Amino acid sequence: APGLVAGRTPVRFQGVEVGTVSKVSVTPDLRAVEVTLNIQRSMQHTLRQGTQFWLVNPQVSLAGVSGLDALVGGNYIAMLPGDGAPQKHFTALAEPPTRQPSGDELLLHLNAADLGSLSIGSPLYYRKIPVGRVYNYAIAEQQQGVRIDVLIEPRFASLVKENSRFWNVSGIRGDVSLSGISLQVDGLTALVNGAIAFDSPPQTPAAQAGSRFTLYPDLASSQRGVTVHLTLSSGEGLQAKRTPLMYQGIQVGLLTTLTLTADGHVDGTLAVDPSIVDLLRDESRITLSAPRLNLNQLNLSQLVSGSVLELHPGSGAARRDFQVLPADQALTQEAGALQLTLDADQSYGIEVGQPVRLKGIRVGQISGRELQDDGVRFTALIAAPYRTAIHGDSRFVVNSRLAVRVGLDGVALTGAAPQEWLEGGVTILPGTQGAVRSHYPLYRDAEAARDGIRGDQPPTTLTLQAATLPDVQPGSPVLYRKFRIGEIATITPRRDGFEIALYIQPAYRHLVGNESVFWAEGGAKVQLNGAGLTVQAAPLARALKGAISLDNLSGVQAARGAPRPLY
């Protein structure tokens, strides 16, 4: 009798205190505990044959907290009055008595091979709506399995038909074979409490109270699932009788067969819960999602259960056959989706399945990646509602990394929001004009996209020649009247001097013409003469890296396409 204290432990009926423990002692044979109760005079007439007493103590588990009042106020003794002859000696129950059903609830008996993860209080679902619960269970007659008694709420009693079938949708189902260990994990509620589902065939008489049914271990075993035919490119990651069909996180079907066809494709069949058949339409899609370890979203349940099929409802006429594509190619089946090709110098860490974003909103995904002789080619799919946001001058920028730039102005850290750069992918700078093109360059960052620089090195706009190398280097600015309009791309030594390639930003290229003259600017200039010491200091950035300035002088005519001299 843990927690029983004379003079303190109460006796309660329906939450109301009706007595107190007055004495706790051990029986002479030391096999039991004898408890003396002091019951209030107003309740002494309930002390009859059939009255039941039991100890209530709090129990905390994944399924919830039972005996919450005991958790707050301590253990107590509960009682349930009987209707027999007066009696003063009782044997307490080891556990609370099973609550008897009311006259309005529909009592049914289910026969199963074992109890599984079901328990008293486990819910019964019809079309994912809880309509009843398990209220008792016992070993069946002649020890032939288990009898599970369930109660259906009065307002849902008419849903149970004479030929309804019940199946288990609870817990973890495992299998160990040569291919490894397989676990099927349902929702957390069903995992903890267990659950049962059933169907309601139309135009069938309602079941009577006390009717008996078989409880099948799963939907496929009940042979009540609607058959749906699948065409798959591969059976990798799929297993018959194990791979579930999920809708909004709930299992609504099970892959029952997989067959290799003569043309190398894989055919499969699904047993689908009849309650969601109306979701199978012409524009509905079924995709295959493989488990993926993603730092942005750790889906541990999918890592355990493996690949799953996912239902995406659509409109149209009823349909019973679907082509299954990987989730990262699902947009190819969407009517009106826009397919684009993006070319980049390298992969930038972008993978198939990563998102394409517009103003932070996901509008598509990367569906393909292919290595080319001159770089990497990506296939991007844009969902139909967003295709009008793409124009001829739209630009696509890598969204999968942080850019760190250290300069004289300090350290510049640029990148997308944390969620976006963890997910990676591509972001769109939408543009405003021009017809949609089939091919676009993929830029490393927004600055490169603005300047039209592909890769990590800017392209050459024009070339200068110098007999000796002034105090400049790649990255040194190009100035027009002290305003930066570009930079030095490369410096190449030649037999007769140096070749200096300049990159001029597109917005300022109109400033460079045949009359342009270029000269080098170094650091500080110091002159010592009879008048004293003269110091002409340049800005710090120009003093350290040097610069090239340009201006236009009348009378100067440079040959088109020929290298310009650097003075």
Tell whether 128 and 211 lie within a shared domain.
yes
Q: Is 101 among the domain residues?
A: no
SS3 readout for 114-169: CCCCCCCCCEEEECCEEEEEEEEEEECHHHCCEEEEEEECHHHHHHCECCCCEEEC
More confident residue, 191 or 262: 262
Domain C-terminal end among 331, 352, 377: 331
Nearest by Cα to 395 from 433, 353, 345, 338 = 433
Residues 560, 468: one domain?
Answer: yes
Rounded CA separation 305/173 (Å): 10
The pairs formed by 39-43 with CB atoms below 8 angstroms and a separation of 24 or more are: 39/11, 42/18, 43/13, 43/18, 43/19
Domain end marker among 265, 299, 331:
331
Query: What percent of the chain is helix, strand and coil (3-state, nearest 5)?
Result: 15, 45, 40
- Give mean pLDDT, residues 101-110: 80
Is the distance from CB of 106 to CB of 154 less than 8 angstroms? yes
Supply the pTM of this predicted model.
0.49
Q: What is the mean pLDDT of residues 422-451?
A: 84
- Kindly write down the DSSP assignment for every residue of 383-443, as one continuous string: -GGGGGG--TT-EEEE-SS-EEEEETTEEEEE---HHHHHH--EEEE--S-SPPPSEEEEE
Q: Within this chain, do residues 420 and 435 fall inside the same structural domain, yes or no?
A: yes
Do 245 and 196 belong together in one domain?
no
User: Is residue 98 domain-resident?
Assistant: no
Q: Say whether both 27 and 45 belong to one domain.
A: yes
Do 273 and 339 share a domain, yes or no? no
Q: What is the pLDDT of residue 525?
A: 56
Specify whether 339 is located in the same domain as 446.
Answer: yes
Q: Please indicate, yes or no, whether residues 148 and 167 belong to a single structural domain of this protein.
A: yes
Q: How far from the centroid of its chain's Cα atoms is residue 7's Cα?
A: 56
Domain-embedded: residue 368 = yes
Asked whether residue 356 is assigned to any structural domain, the reply reads: yes
Name the nearest CA neighbour of 245 among 281, 266, 224, 276.
276
Residue 423 in tokens: 């997910």
Residue 539 in any domain: the answer is yes
- Reference 186, options 122, 139, 231, 133; nearest CA is 122
In this predicted structure, what is the pLDDT of residue 22? 93
Distance, CA of 471 to CA of 489 (rounded, Å)? 15
Number of residues in the chain: 567
Residue 352 lies inside a defined structural domain of this protein? yes
Residues 321 and 368 in one domain: no
Q: Model confidence at 34, in pLDDT bands (50, 70, 90)?
A: very high
Average pLDDT over residues 71-89: 83
> Phi and psi dihedrals of 63, rounded to 5?
-75, -15
Closest CA to 109 of 214, 8, 1: 214
Mean pLDDT of the chain: 80
Q: What is the pLDDT of residue 103?
A: 60
> How many angstroms separate the CA atoms of 385 and 336, rounded?
8
Q: Answer yes or no: do 345 and 248 share one domain.
A: no
195 and 254 in a single domain? The answer is no
Sign of torsion over alpha carbons 492, 493, 495, 501: positive
What percentage of residues in the chain have a pLDDT greater than 90?
16
* Within a domain: 206: yes
Which residue among 451, 475, 503 closes a domain?
Answer: 451
In which band, very low, low, confident or very high, does the pLDDT at 70 lie, cut at 50, 70 and 90? very low
The CA-based angle 499-502-505, given to 5 degrees, is 170
Residue 134: inside a domain: yes
* Number of structural domains in the chain: 5
Q: What domain range includes position 245?
A: 225-331
558 and 495, same domain (yes or no): yes
Does residue 526 surpass a pLDDT of 60? no
Q: Place 111 in a pLDDT band, splitting at 50, 70 and 90.
A: very high
Residue 206 pLDDT: 92
Q: Which residues contact 136 (CB under 8 A, 6 or more apart)?
A: 98, 120, 148, 149
Q: Match 């942005």 to its residue by tokens.
A: 296
pLDDT band for position 514 (50/70/90)? confident
Token couple for 482: 């002290």
- The model's pLDDT over 133-154, given as tens digits with 9 standing for 90+, comes to 888 888 888 778 899 999 999 9
